[in-house]
Structure 1
Amino acid sequence: MAADTFDRVDGMPGDDGTRRMAMTEVTRAGQEQDVDLRHHGDAEIGEGLANFAVNVRTGTPPAWLAERLRASLADLAAYPDPEPARAAVARRHGRAPGEVLLTAGAAEAFVLIARVLRPRRAVVVHPQFTEPEAALRAAGHQVGRVVLGKDFVLDPAAVPADADLVMIGNPTNPTSVLHPAAAVAALARPGRTVVVDEAFMDCVPGEPESLATRLPPGFVIVRSLTKTWGLAGLRAGYVLAESRLITALAAAQPLWAVSTPALVAVEECSAPAAVAEAEAWAAGMAAERDRLAAELSGRGLYVVPGARASFLCLRVPDALGIRALLRQRGYAVRRGDTFPGLGPDWLRIAVRDRPANDALLKVLGDLGI
């Protein structure tokens, strides 16, 4: 944890899409475009709609995990004991248990970080998941934005030198871009804290660009079990950081914030066999994602290149109108205009299995896409 930032902790325990891709914008606090930071993919889905809007792996949780969660209900009379799950996460990433905080999903982690840190200049690198910025604003912080340029590639020099809190996703939601670990690590500065949202890192076989095991000084890694294991309703995630910050975050967290079933899920999904299962899924998903991207690109659409997560980000003229037409035909996709740095010509599409993806492609073809 960067010392200067940690010392300021809370005392309590259109521009059109083409232009946006052609330049990197730095937006100071108070000058941000108006978007709904609280709009998420779950608001897009509905009864009878094929779900391409939410980036949660279908067919999950797997039977073995569901059975383990059912068995955990027998222990609900006792208060949750986080230590076995905490130790399992520490073993997975080669960290000390004191560098791990278990949370009720990544969303709680962002809220705790926003409440504990007191930065002079907070910056969020966009486009990315909007909850980190929403949490900072809810905690009363002014937030600046760095909007990435062509193909949403990270240029560490684009982040203002005086930013003492930087938040970035990797791989990034909604663009599916995986930034090189060296580029993310280059964001380090004396007195700066860098928060990296790695919620989709287990979509990448081998996780070569993860900083979870390296954990450079001043870095905070946020992880989630939601996407790969289908546990959005359970709320299970964790933070990796130096022990002094973990202690401060824990002091701001309600007692027993993570339920017994969620702790069981964290422990089970951190085991070597589960990590291997997730990697096998990620490899199969990647092949289907690349096929889907090639199909869409072959129709003349701009698909953000080099996608590495379980979704694709694409530019479609009148994307909001296309989204509405897809809903009429039984398909839900994620609008892009609620992500700073995108706009009304962008959509995010989750990657499903081949039959489901082909059905979506057919409907798009029927719409002339």
Structure 2
Amino acid sequence: MTAEPDLRHHGDAEVRTPGLVDLAVNVRTGTPPEWLRDRLAATLGDLAAYPDPSAARAAVAARHRRPVDEVLLTSGAAEAFVLLARVLRPRRATVVHPQFTEPEAALRDAGHTVHRAVLDAADGFRLTPGAVPDEADLVVIGNPTNPTSVLHPAEAVAALARTGRTLVVDEAFMDAVPGEPASLAGTRDLPGQVVVLRSLTKTWGLAGLRIGYVLGPAALIAELAAAQPLWPVSTPALAAAEACSTPAALAEAEDAARLTAAHREHLLKGLTDVPGARVHGEPAASFVLLRLPGAAEVRLRLREAGYAVRRGDTFPGLGPDWLRIAVRDERTTDRFLTALAAAVSPA
């Protein structure tokens, strides 16, 4: 009997050993930028007052051209999965895998039975017709998907929306895609309930601050807000949400996405020279999913060489021969590729 994957294992567990070069966590290096650190530091004098989310909520709403009552700020996108699991009462919850495992973990913790729709590597992990059963009244999908890095067309994801169904789209990595062409964050005219989750963690380097948000129908947003504890988002996190929604910040994020795309192509080109390595699909985010015979042993050899990568066997639909690699600058990538080649052929 195949063991169930550890849904609560995440990339940060790979880098708890000091001194490793981090290719396991998908947070952009060199972040947060200095201007954002200054903005956060400026809030320290306001910590005696309770947080007021009004300005940050309005800024996020304006950024996505939505009414304010369709925005909920959360303590990271991960909190949103917990809130949805507590509020919704699905008859058939379906999570599209391989993807970030917290949605399924949160649903199971809340007592829901979860059905898996597993996409096939042979199809490039693309969303295909019929992948999600018609009877599913809650569907969770990532776009671009962690860990596959596949970007599903907006039309394909939107086609999952229907009356009587809640469609949850995890767009935590969408701002790593230049132009965000597949985002549904500003879409409000689809049938059923469409919920989009966003995070400021990856592009802005704010994993330790915990800030994300939910976009969705006002009535559902009100229910989710009622399930939150009081003052769930700190004053510095609110300042980050407001600051990262400005036109200047969005332009900076776009530049970062284009640079990431160039660095990703450099990594992909280098991987073609690694014996046995194969990337399925067309990566679009700040990481690459690699299939490699003996990947579990290779990962351990890489750690000995000073590099941390993300194991793939904790994602439903994958197994021990998969690794997720974060995109880094070309110099770091070249050094990593040298270490990877040695780890694949240790003799």
Common fold by TM > 0.5: yes
Q: 2:31 aligns with which of 51, 60, 70?
A: 60
Query: Which of 196-205 and 291-300 deviates more?
Result: 291-300
Q: What is the correspondence of 1:317-356 to structure 2 with a 5 Å cutoff?
A: 317-356=293-332
Give 1:299 shift: 2.8
Is 1:119 the counterpart of 2:95? The answer is: no
Q: Distance in 2 between matches of 1:156 and 1:127?
A: 17
Q: What is the correspondence of 1:1-369 to structure 2 with a 5 Å cutoff?
A: 34-45=4-15, 46-149=17-120, 150-215=123-188, 216-217=190-191, 218-300=193-275, 301-368=277-344
The answer to whether the 8 A contact 1:176-1:313 is kept is yes
* Residue number in structure 2 paired with 1:30: none
Give 1:156 shift: 4.1
Q: Residue type matched to 1:175 in 2?
A: T
Secondary structure in 2 aligned to 1:79?
coil
Secondary structure in 2 aligned to 1:298?
coil
Q: Residue type matched to 1:42 in 2?
A: D
Secondary structure in 2 aligned to 1:332?
strand
Q: Distance in 2 between matches of 1:356 and 1:190?
A: 48
The answer to whether the 8 A contact 1:225-1:236 is kept is yes
The answer to whether the 8 A contact 1:58-1:230 is kept is yes
Secondary structure in 1 aligned to 2:130?
helix
Q: Residue type matched to 1:289 in 2?
A: R
Query: Which of 117-126 and 356-365 deviates more?
Result: 356-365
Q: Distance in 2 between matches of 1:158 and 1:308?
A: 21
The one-character-per-residue Cα deviations of 1:133-172 (angstroms, maximum 9, x if unpaired) are: 0000010100000000221000142111100000000000
Gaps of 5+ in 1: 1-13, 16-32
Relative distance call for 1:368 and 1:249 in structure 2 (3 A) is: closer
The answer to whether the 8 A contact 2:94-2:114 is kept is yes
Secondary structure in 2 aligned to 1:87?
helix
Query: Which of 359-368 and 107-116 deviates more?
Result: 359-368
Secondary structure in 1 aligned to 2:168?
strand
The one-character-per-residue Cα deviations of 1:166-209 (angstroms, maximum 9, x if unpaired) are: 00000000000000000000101220000000000000111010
Query: Which of 292-301 and 220-229 deviates more?
Result: 292-301
Secondary structure in 2 aligned to 1:146?
strand
TM-score (norm 2): 0.96
Give 1:323 shift: 0.3
Q: Distance in 2 between matches of 1:249 and 1:222?
A: 13
Q: Distance in 2 between matches of 1:239 and 1:157?
A: 27
Q: Residue type matched to 1:268 in 2?
A: A
Q: Residue type matched to 1:227 in 2?
A: K
Q: Distance in 1 between matches of 2:137 and 2:273?
A: 43
Q: Distance in 2 between matches of 1:109 and 1:328?
A: 37
Give 1:368 shift: 4.1
Secondary structure in 2 aligned to 1:338?
coil
The one-character-per-residue Cα deviations of 1:46-88 (angstroms, maximum 9, x if unpaired) are: 2010000000001100000000000011110111000100000
Query: Which of 232-241 and 302-311 deviates more?
Result: 302-311
The one-character-per-residue Cα deviations of 1:86-134 (angstroms, maximum 9, x if unpaired) are: 0000010010000000000000000000000000000000000000000
Q: Distance in 2 between matches of 1:225 and 1:237?
A: 6
Q: Distance in 1 between matches of 2:28 and 2:179?
A: 18
The one-character-per-residue Cα deviations of 1:8-41 (angstroms, maximum 9, x if unpaired) are: xxxxxx99xxxxxxxxxxxxxxxxx611000000
Q: Residue type matched to 2:219 in 1?
A: R
TM-score (norm 1): 0.90
Give 1:337 shift: 0.1
Q: Distance in 1 between matches of 2:342 and 2:301?
A: 11
The answer to whether the 8 A contact 1:202-1:279 is kept is yes
Query: Which of 297-306 and 193-202 deviates more?
Result: 297-306
Q: Residue type matched to 2:297 in 1?
A: G
Runs of 4+ aligned structure 1 residues displaced above 6 Å come to: none
Secondary structure in 1 aligned to 2:265?
helix
